C-alpha cells in the first residue's frame, strides 16, 4: 500500500469522512455530536478504516475541516 489519506469535515449536522487508499475511496457520514465533536470523529474514523480493512497506523495523512465556528456566528 502506498498511501491512505483521510479527510474529515465536521459540520453542524453531519461529520463527513472520505478515505482514499491508492485511488479507492471509502466514505461515511455520521451525525455530529455538538457537545463533543470528537466522538463522531473517532467513531466515524474507526468505521471507515474498518470498511477499508486498515488501522490508524496505516494513515499517511489526515485533513480536518469544520464549519462549526461559521455556523455559530451565522
pLDDT for res 67 = 78
List 4's β-bridge partners, or say none.
21
pLDDT for res 52 = 97
pLDDT tens digit sequence for 14-54? 999 999 999 999 999 999 988 899 999 999 999 999 999 99
Please report, for the domain that includes residue 66, its CATH number. 3.30.420.40
pLDDT for res 69 = 66
pLDDT for res 34 = 84
**Which of the residue ranges 1-5, 20-24, 26-30, 67-71 would you say has the lowest mean pLDDT?**
67-71
Lookup: cell for 24: 479507492
The domain tally of the chain equals 1
Q: Which domain holds residue 13?
A: 4-73
- Is residue 69 within 8 A of residue 11, CB to CB? The reply is no
pTM here is 0.86
Amino acid at each position: 500500500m502506498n498511501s491512505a489519506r483521510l479527510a474529515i469535515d465536521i459540520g453542524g449536522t453531519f461529520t463527513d469522512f472520505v478515505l482514499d487508499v491508492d485511488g479507492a475511496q471509502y466514505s461515511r457520514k455520521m451525525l455530529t455530536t455538538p457537545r463533543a465533536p470528537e466522538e463522531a470523529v473517532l467513531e466515524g474514523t474507526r468505521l471507515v478504516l474498518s470498511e477499508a480493512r486498515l488501522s490508524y497506523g496505516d494513515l499517511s495523512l489526515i485533513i480536518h475541516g469544520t464549519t462549526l465556528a461559521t455556523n455559530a456566528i451565522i
